[in-house]
Amino acid sequence: MAILTKDEAKKIIDKVLSYSKADELSANLTGGRIGNIRYARNAVSTSGEGTNLSLSVTAAFGKRSGTATINEFDDASLEKTVRRAEEIARLAPENPEYMPMLGPQTYLAADPYSQNTANIDPAYRSQATFDSIDPCRKKNLTAAGYMEDTTRFTAIGNTKGLSAYNRETSVEFSITVRTADGTGSGYSTRDVTDVSKLSTKDATEIAMQKAMASTNARALEPGKYTVILEPAALLANVDASLMAAMMNSLDARNAEEGRSFLSKKGGGTRLGEKLFDERVTIYSDPTNAEVPAAAFGGGGGRFGGGGSDGRPQEKVTWIEKGVVKNLSYSRYWADKKGVKAIPPPANFIMAGGTESLADMIKSTEKGILVTRFWYIRAVDPQTLLYTGLTRDGTFYIENGQIKFPVKNFRFNESPIIMLNNLESLGKPVRLAGNLIPPLKIRDFTFTSLSDAV
Amino acid sequence: MKRRDFIHLSGMGMGALLTAGIPATGIPVLGNSVVPEYLLEPGVDVATKKRFADIALNAAKSKGATYTDVRIGRYLQQFMFTREMKVQNIVNAESYGVGIRVIANGTWGFAATSNVTPDAIARCAETAVAIAKANSKFQTEPVVLAPQKGVGDVTWKTPITKNAFEIPVQQKIELLMKVNSEAMKNGAGFVTSNLFFVNEQKYFASTDGTYADQDIHRVWPTFTVTAVDKAAGKFKTRDALSSPMGMGYEYLDGLASEKIAAPNGLVGYRNSYDMVEDAILAAKQAKEKLTAKTVQPGKYDLVLDPNHLGLTIHESVGHPTELDRVLGYEANYAGTSFATLDKWKTKKFNYGSKLVNIVADKLQPHSLGKVGYDDEGVPSKEWDLIKDGILVNYQAIRDQAAILGEKESNGCCYADNWDSVQFQRMPNVSLKHGNEKRSVFDMIKGVDKGIYIIGRGSYSIDQQRYNFQFGGQLFYEIKNGELVGMLDDVAYQSNTQEFWNSCAQLCDKDDYRMFGSFFDGKGQPSQVSAVSHGSATTRFNGVNVINTGRKI
């Protein structure tokens, strides 16, 4: 059984801790099941399901620590693992940045688990795939898609009294539909905690519409354009993304060491400075009902994790009205600086407006609608300049209406500049375990054209 | 190394910190952490593996499979991470299990298990057949495999002279500490250095009658040096100019005979790497980058070092000539390809200038992709992708080759672990060197307005591998045949066909070197593969260079 209950997990962890002879010992027990189904050319290409249950034990003597893992759970194996971790810890060099383990913590009541998702079986995956392929076949379109469902738990405990348990589920689905002549392509993606909220048919319908509408794309000159970036263009679960790049850069140590866009000329950080449009507010909250996340690090946090040291995930405001309000700290760096050790977020929620995507298009005089970006890579970490391309549905908007599909563009842009050029924000939707609104941005920089469809 | 030696070495202060899972670098770790001596234990003997494989083949056949292959894999990894004078982590990992792939009802099925026992293997084979049959519900065309004759019992091993896992942990850490201290002494503010070692012990068997036992080794030493100017609020980095290689620890010998002199004191490393020497140079160059002149955008003739051009080859030739992309299997993720079947069928598509000859192979000595047999039991070979500038072939595996009516696979099938299903992955894809005697010094002498680019930087290309923007580690301005100083904020943009048609000059075999990638990602769920790309320094005329400098 790969998914243990809180009591079952605690029993194993308590047994492990009872074998300890180290100054400190922690046990991290994880288990889960991942199922997937992949299709292309309107047929399933691969499908599988796997389970795993694993125990990781870390022992410490002073500033020396060692870790051993095992996936056998009889008493002898558990004790052997503890002894091996201790042995390695005794032999290891001192780590000057080692921090003592945490004692008991208080965690928020997060619940990122759905029994519906845990109940997914191969027949469900097969039907969900058929619901996506069948409408494409009927319209002479070609579907390529992927669905992955995860059910997992994490339990941690240590000899200082820390104890935590989390179980969570998620389903990610993405679909690309292409026209038979290869001149049109459309994309749609969804992710949910509860699979009953996922309709592969509905998501595929959007990709189909985009594919059919994107044939015979016209070329526009590269340059600065007003763009409406759909959530999948801002955040991706298959590639780097502009918003994830920015959120991942909110690290205090890098900023203070002078190697971050948040480093201040002459030393120090830009914490407290207004760096974005005042409508930009981003916070994290593991208890949010739409994007629930683990309440402690190591629970498989969906956005950067949060480490495995058992620190509580709390509601943290990272950017408020355009001002950088908080940075994440490792425990070592926080201790050195005498501040609270805020872990990186397990999710993020960007405040938006009430407008739908259709409303945002309606209010646009001239602009480009972007479905998705691709192959986003950092060009300059100093300015967070990134490059990448539009893909799978790029359209020209004029006088509040989509006029015609346009050829794909390459962009060179920084999320920092982008979030200073905000025109409007739409209603946030879930993507990659986070909530993000579609954004209308002026002066977004496209530097060249691509003939790729 | 025996257990006693490990304790002795560790007692000197260089023990191993063993951590499970994925380290902070995001490097994929495929196994469970183990103590280092486990990496030297022999795996299961060949006779036992053959017996296990036959159990899988027979079990699948009895349930209705018309084709079955089985991979019994033991995957060993050792990754070392340091920062300044601190050892951040040492990961020793082992992963062992069986993956079984079948065709039943004309449909693929795959299952894997870490329980390598006769009963579990038989059950796993039956599961693979059941999955195939379940998925056949929506199958419209049955899978057909290009023929492949069984080769019987065969073995293959990467020809290494020093098994990296036999080198004491202390010796490796001392090397990284030396790298870091020399970088700091020479102007680095920060430095991280890493060593990656991989050993794939892979047994493949199929109903074609192949039983292939392979022992594959790879190494990759690398670092990143950062120079900071706090007063100016600037920082610059320079990464190592090493290449991941299909070699043992001998790659780190730093043999003088394998060094190639390049302008501005740069060194080209062929089949042997001097990590300390490169770190010293990197620290000086990272500092120099802080005050480098920002580039004037415009058209330049580019002189591209093999350590840079390799990734350009990878992105703009390697990926678009993957037949699974051409056919649409990667449409939802990595994309399709502009190099469509109609272009290939004409045998007239000008992929590049007449100088451009690009070969795919799994035979090149010391390369990452060199193996005896692929993960469908197809023996390794070499073939042309682009000949005299014309697109002539793709990279294929058996079921794709059959779709095109080809008589055989190119042997490009690979899975990154026993529990991953194998699919089409890139072999080594390399640009042939020129035949006329020409060094990089000679080449630069002939350039009036150009940029000499070294090392892998920011790389981005569209989903059909057409429009790209590539950066690098080091950029030197060329004026009237001479290097006149370092440039900053450089990236070049082109499309694949225009770029390769602008190829104007090649250095000769004495300048030929390999670039490599350890973690080339593809597929859903994503898998990694390792691949090399060889070339000599090459000139491309009139390429569009942009300035990437911004103010925030």
Find the CB nearest A126 among B137, B458, B548: B137
Indicate the residue of A84, A146, A384 with minimum beta-carbon distance to B524. A146
Let me know if residue B487 belongs to a domain: yes
The pLDDT value recorded for residue B26 is: 52
Shortest Cα–Cα distance, A299 to chain B (Å): 13
Nearest to B463 among A123, A275, A374 (CB): A374
Question: Is 80 exceeded by the pLDDT of residue B36?
Answer: no
State whether A88 and B16 contact (CB < 8 Å): yes
Give the contacts of B48 (CB within 8 A, at least 6 positions apart).
Answer: none
Q: For B385-396, give one letter per residue: b (16+ CB within 10 A) or e.
A: bbbebbbbbbbb
Instruction: Confirm whether B525 is domain-assigned.
Output: yes
Identity of the residue in B33, B230, B493 whose CB atom sits nearest the CB atom of A448: B493
pLDDT at residue number A308: 66
Kindly tell me if the per-residue pLDDT of B257 is higher than 50: yes
Sole residue written with tokens 């600065």: A224
Chain B partners within 8 Å of A307 (Cβ): none
Q: Which domains does chain A have, with CATH numbers?
A: 6-209 (3.30.2290.10), 216-453 (no CATH)
pLDDT, one tens digit per residue, over B323-357 is 999 999 999 999 999 999 999 999 999 999 999 99
CB B270 within 8 A of CB B291: no
Give residue B521's domain range: 298-365+383-393+428-547
What pLDDT sits at residue B312? 98
In a domain, B252, yes or no: no
Q: Above 70 in pLDDT, residue B6?
A: no
> Does B2 have pLDDT greater than 60?
no
Does any domain span residue B498? Answer: yes
Contact between chains at A259 and B471 (C-beta distance less than 8 A): no
Question: According to the model, what pLDDT value does residue B350 have?
Answer: 97
Helix (H, G, I), strand (E, B) or coil at B173: helix
- Chain A residues closer than 8 Å to B335 by CB: 374, 391, 452
Q: Which of B190, B234, B552 sits opposite A416 (nearest CB)?
A: B552
**% chain B with pLDDT above 90:** 86
Q: Å from B434 to nearest chain A CA?
A: 31
Question: For residue B155, what pLDDT is reported?
Answer: 98
By CA distance, what is A93's nearest residue in B?
A: B13
ipTM for the predicted complex comes to 0.92
Give the pLDDT score at B382: 98
A36–B525 CB contact, under 8 Å: yes
Quick check: A66 contacting B, CB < 8 Å? yes
User: Does residue B133 have a pLDDT over 70?
Assistant: yes
CB spacing of B228 vs A259 below 8 angstroms:
yes
- Could you tell me if A2 lies within 8 Å of chain B, comparing CB atoms? no
CA distance B328 to chain A (A): 6
Q: pLDDT band for position B11 (50/70/90)?
A: very low
Whether B325 is covered by a domain: the verdict is yes
Give the separation between CA A217 and CA A186, rounded to whole angstroms.
13
Q: Give B269-323 pLDDT, tens digit per residue.
A: 999 999 999 999 999 999 999 999 999 999 999 999 999 999 999 999 999 999 9
Please check whether residue B434 lies inside any domain of the structure. yes
Cα–Cα dist B55/B48, whole Å: 11
> Are A448 and B139 a contacting pair at CB < 8 A?
no
Please compute the mean of the pLDDT values over residues B136-148 and round it to a whole number. 90
Give the residue on A whose Cα is nearest the Cα of B135. Answer: A44
- Chain B hits for A187, CB-CB cut-off 8 Å, are 332
pLDDT tens digits along B149-166: 999 999 999 999 999 999
Q: Is A240 on the interface with B (CB under 8 A)?
A: no
Which residues, other chains included, contact B241 with Cβ-Cβ below 8 Å and sequence gap of 6+? B267, B269, B278, B282, B307, B454, B455, B473
Instruction: Report how many domains make up chain B.
Output: 1
State the smallest CA–CA distance between residue A243 and chain B in angstroms: 16
Say whether A41 and B327 touch across the interface (CB within 8 A).
yes
| Minimal CA separation from B452 to chain A, in Å | 18
Task: From chain B, pick out residues whose CB is under 8 angstroms from the CB of A182.
Answer: 336, 340
In chain A, which residues have their Cβ closer than 8 Å to the Cβ of B10? 91-92
* Contact: A130, B135; criterion CB under 8 Å: no
Q: To probe the interface with A, which of B7, B17, B546 has the most A CB atoms within 10 Å? A: B17
CB contact under 8 A, B18 and A410: no
Instruction: Answer yes or no: is B459 within a domain.
Output: yes
What is d(CA B494, CA B467) in angstroms, rounded to the nearest whole number? Answer: 6
Nearest CA in chain A to B93: A69
Q: Are strands B482-488 and B293-294 parallel, antiparallel or unpaired?
A: parallel
pLDDT bucket at B22, cuts 50 / 70 / 90:
very low
Angstrom distances, CA of residue B550 to CA of A261, A380, A383, B431, B488: 12, 9, 6, 35, 12
d(CA B471, CA B454) in angstroms, rounded, equals: 9
Do B116 and B96 form a contact (C-beta atoms < 8 A)?
yes
**Residue B138 is nearest to which of A133, A265, A449, comparing CB atoms?**
A133
Measured between CA atoms, the residue of chain B closest to residue A305 is B24
At B13, the pLDDT band (50, 70, 90 cuts) reads very low
Whether B3 shows a pLDDT value over 60: the answer reads no
Chain A residues 264-283 with CB within 8 Å of chain B = 264-267, 275
The stretches of B160-247 forming alpha helices (DSSP H) are: 169-185
Task: Name the residue facing A96 among B86, B107, B552 (closest C-beta).
Answer: B86
Interatomic CA distance for residues A402 and A425, integer angstroms = 19
CB pairs under 8 A between A and B: 240
Are the Cβ atoms of A257 and B489 closer than 8 angstroms?
Answer: no
Residue B194 lies in a domain: no
Local structure of A257: helix, strand or coil: coil
Q: From the list B87, B237, B331, which residue is nearest A178 (CB)?
A: B331
Measure in Å the smallest separation between the Cα of B301 and chain A Cα atoms: 19
Q: Which two tokens stand for residue B453?
A: 């680019």
Chain A residue whose CA is closest to B324: A40
The answer to whether A327 faces chain B, any CB pair under 8 Å, is no
Whether residue B459 contacts residue B471, with contact meaning beta carbons closer than 8 Å, is answered with yes
Of the candidate ranges A135-149, A270-284, B127-141, B519-533, the one whose mean pLDDT is the lowest: B127-141
Interface with chain A: mutation pick from B102, B467, B497, B520, highest number of A CBs within 10 Å: B467
Chain A environment of B111 (Cβ under 8 Å):
48
Test A67 with B134 for CB contact under 8 angstroms: no
Residue B61 near residue B53, CB atoms below 8 Å = no
> What are the chain B neighbours of A408 within 8 Å (beta carbons)?
462, 467
Amino acid at B50: K
How do the pLDDT tens digits run along chain A, 453 residues long? Answer: 578 999 999 999 999 999 999 999 999 998 888 999 999 999 998 888 878 888 889 999 999 988 888 888 999 999 999 998 898 888 778 888 899 999 999 999 999 999 999 999 988 998 999 999 999 999 999 999 999 999 999 999 999 999 999 999 999 999 999 999 999 999 999 999 999 999 999 999 999 999 999 999 999 999 999 999 999 999 987 778 999 999 999 999 999 999 999 999 999 999 999 999 999 999 999 999 999 999 997 433 333 333 468 999 999 999 999 999 999 999 999 999 999 999 989 899 999 999 999 999 999 999 999 999 999 999 999 899 999 999 999 999 999 999 999 999 999 999 999 999 999 999 999 999 999 999 999 999 999 999 999
